[in-house]
Every structure is written in structure tokens, then in C-alpha cells.
Amino acid sequence: MTRSKTEIRAEDRLSRILTKVKERDFRLTPQRLAIIRTLVAGTDHPSVDDVYREVREQFPTTSPATVYKTIALLKELNEVLELGFPDGSNRYDGNRPYPHPHAICTKCRKIMDPEISSVDELSEEMKQKTGYTISFHRLDFFGLCPECQRKT
């Protein structure tokens, strides 16, 4: 069986996170493992409810509270990026837990993570013109994804 690059990367991500969890003396429960697996599995920026429904297939008694708590743990470990939206439709990136630009479809809510070259320059320009010490950012671009453009 051949493996794609993303699958291999996902496994690296998983073991990296599990190591961190153990190092910090957090317990590795089956529920936590399932939640972390789900967050690292795809490139689809799941919501809390997405993760909850996925994990509940393995652990039918799992509660949303546990998902929230595990995500809070991963945030503390800097191993998940939270994309909070003011309407409460929050999404999570378990693959690239550092700030980076997102393209967000206003219709189907699909999120993409392109590699963008000029982010550092923009950050530097902000620093110069405001005097702020920029430590992180949030860059969202909204519009229609290719698929939703076709359907219109």
C-alpha cells in the first residue's frame, strides 16, 4: 500500500502531539486520542460538532464538553489553530497550528490554506507604520470557491 504525503505528515503530526501530551503529564485517554486523530486526519478544518459526531461513532457516550476540553488542551500545547468566527461557527486546523492566511467560501464554508509569499512583508509594514510588536495574525479572505462559482 502506497501512502500519500499528507497521510505520512498526519502520522508525524499525531506522534508529535502524543509526545507533547505525555511530556506534560496529561493522561492519554481513548477519547483524547480519538479527538486528536480526527483533528489531524483531514485537511478540512472541522468544527467542534464535526469532531464530536466523528468521535461519537467510536465512543457513543462522549460529550461535547470533552471535545471542548481536549481542544483547549491542544491550544495550550500550540498544536491546533483555532479559527474563531463571531457567529460561533468556529473551525480548527490540526495540521498547521501556526497563523497563516485562509481563503473561506462564503457559500459552502470550504477553507483553503495556500502558501503565500508576502505575509512577512505585510507584517513588517504593519509594524513599521503602527509601532506595534506584531506577534501573530489572522488573515482571512472571503469569496466563492471554484466549485460554488460553477454552481452559481
Residue 139 engages a second copy in binding (rule: CB under 8 A): yes
Contact segment (CB under 8 A) with a second copy among 5-13, 34-42, 71-79, 142-150 equals: 142-150
Residue 131 engages DNA in binding (rule: CB under 7 A): no
Question: What b-and-e string marks burial along 90-121, b requiring 16 or more CB atoms within 10 Å of the CB?
Answer: bbbbbbebeebbbbbbeeeeebeeeeeeeeee
Q: What secondary structure does DSSP assign to 66-96, as a single string? A: HHHHHHHHHHHTT--EEE--TTS--EEESS-
Residue 95 engages DNA in binding (rule: CB under 7 A): no
Q: Which of residues 69-88 bind a second copy (CB under 8 A)?
A: 82, 84-88
Residue 83 engages DNA in binding (rule: CB under 7 A): no
Closest to DNA by CB, 10 or 21: 21
